[in-house]
């Protein structure tokens, strides 16, 4: 992890205990090898969605709906969240969780490639979250920024890749770091540069979870 073990343990100890549904989703992610958002990053997203008064949210990368649920719970009753996923099994799992959470009316879970799906959307969204294929981040960001209202927020996950992006190398003590290659690290660094220097954004990079990039549209 990016932060020290002591810092992470302290944050986890002082955080509210997750409800049963979220705990079940985390257990499933670990058991089935489904990549889901770090719990602290998910809590941050929920707080930010409330802070901007989000009524319309778009997400790339539903997986089984862990981050999606945190975002959906921040919406008002008439809010809308559109989330894209390309894995049919994960998409079905997310649907079942939202039915159980009684939030299906707020969430439009689309089994569709996000790069294609984003082209069908119209402004204005209050918040966007990217957590899909990392190689597509740059193109998807350029699609999403025009969809955000001024003052709208965009968040991007995995921008530090277990610290490998900061170190600039894919190995630690001679071993691969989570399978990240030199090419993927170079792509991630290029995206981070693009993100923080985007002319329409006021941006920053944070070490929350696996690294969350945050920006507000000018």
Q: What is the pLDDT of residues 76-103, one digit of tens each?
A: 999 999 999 999 999 999 999 999 999 9
Higher pLDDT residue, 168 or 52? Answer: 52
Q: Which residues contact 62 (CB under 8 A, 6 or more apart)?
A: 68, 83, 84, 85, 90, 91, 94, 109
Supply the pLDDT for residue 162. Answer: 84
Q: Are 57 and 71 in contact (CB under 8 A)?
A: yes
Supply the pLDDT for residue 1. Answer: 63
What's the burial of 4, exposed, middle or buried (CB within 10 Å: 0-12/13-18/19+)? exposed
pLDDT exceeds cutoff 60 at 32: yes
> For the chain, what are the domain ranges?
5-217
Residues 179, 175: Cα–Cα separation, whole Å: 9
Strand-pair partners of 214: 155, 204
Residue 191, classed as helix, strand or coil, is helix
Give the model confidence (pLDDT) of 112-157 as tens digits. Answer: 999 999 999 998 999 999 999 999 999 999 999 999 999 999 999 9
Report percent pLDDT > 90 for the chain: 82
pLDDT exceeds cutoff 70 at 178: no
pLDDT bucket at 163, cuts 50 / 70 / 90:
confident
Mean pLDDT of the chain: 93
CATH superfamily assigned to domain 5-217: Vaccinia Virus protein VP39 (3.40.50.150)
Supply the pLDDT for residue 189. Answer: 95
């Amino acid at each position: 992890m990016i932060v020290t073990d002591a810092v992470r343990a302290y944050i986890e100890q002082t955080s509210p205990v997750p409800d049963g549904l979220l705990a079940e989703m985390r257990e499933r992610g670990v058991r089935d090898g489904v990549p889901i958002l770090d719990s602290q990053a998910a809590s941050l997203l929920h707080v930010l969605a409330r802070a901007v008064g989000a009524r319309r949210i778009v997400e790339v990368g539903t997986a089984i709906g862990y981050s999606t649920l945190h975002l959906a719970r921040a919406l008002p009753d008439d809010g809308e969240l559109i989330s894209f996923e390309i894995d049919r099994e994960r998409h079905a799992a997310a649907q079942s969780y939202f039915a159980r959470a009684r939030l299906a009316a707020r969430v439009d879970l689309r089994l569709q490639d996000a790069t294609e799906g984003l082209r069908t959307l119209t402004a204005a969204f209050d918040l966007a979250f990217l957590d899909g294929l990392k190689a597509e981040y740059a193109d998807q960001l350029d699609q999403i920024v025009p969809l955000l209202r001024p003052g709208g927020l965009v968040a991007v996950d995995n921008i530090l890749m277990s610290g490998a992006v900061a170190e600039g190398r894919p190995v630690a003590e001679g071993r691969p770091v989570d399978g990240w290659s030199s090419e993927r690290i170079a792509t991630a660094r290029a995206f981070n540069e693009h993100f923080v220097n985007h002319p329409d954004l006021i941006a920053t990079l944070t070490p929350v979870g696996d690294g969350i990039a945050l920006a507000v549209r000018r």
